[in-house]
Amino acid sequence: MSTEPVELTVADARNHFSQRVNRAAFGDEITYVTRGRKHERVAAIVPIELVEAYEELLDEQDGRVAHQRLEEIRSGDAEVVPAEDVAKELGL
């Protein structure tokens, strides 16, 4: 990111929303939105590339976990419960 992140209250973020979105989109700026007396960060306006990179990381992590679980099933190290048993237990 090219500049230091900015923190704005919810009200200020609302008043400057278009400007903050443009700065995220074209200036790679992050805006943290805060709320309350302690100015707790509750949201952020960020460049889309940052969100897409985060989603890719999550997808990769999900893939690794799925691969590990399949290996555990194949090796007999995992308890396998048939879907019918799960549905019955849940009353579905």
Q: What type of residue is 84?
A: E
Domain boundaries, the chain: 6-78
Half-sphere exposure of 29 (CA within 13 A, CB side): 17
Reported as a single tens digit per residue, the pLDDT across 22-32 is 999 999 999 99
From residue 17, give the alpha-carbon distance in Å to each of 5, 9, 28, 41: 15, 11, 15, 16
CATH of domain 6-78: 3.40.1620
C-beta atoms surrounding 20 within 10 Å: 22
The Cα 85–Cα 41 span in angstroms is 43
Does the pTM exceed 0.75?
A: no
The confidence score (pLDDT) of residue 12 equals 97
Type of residue found at 31: T
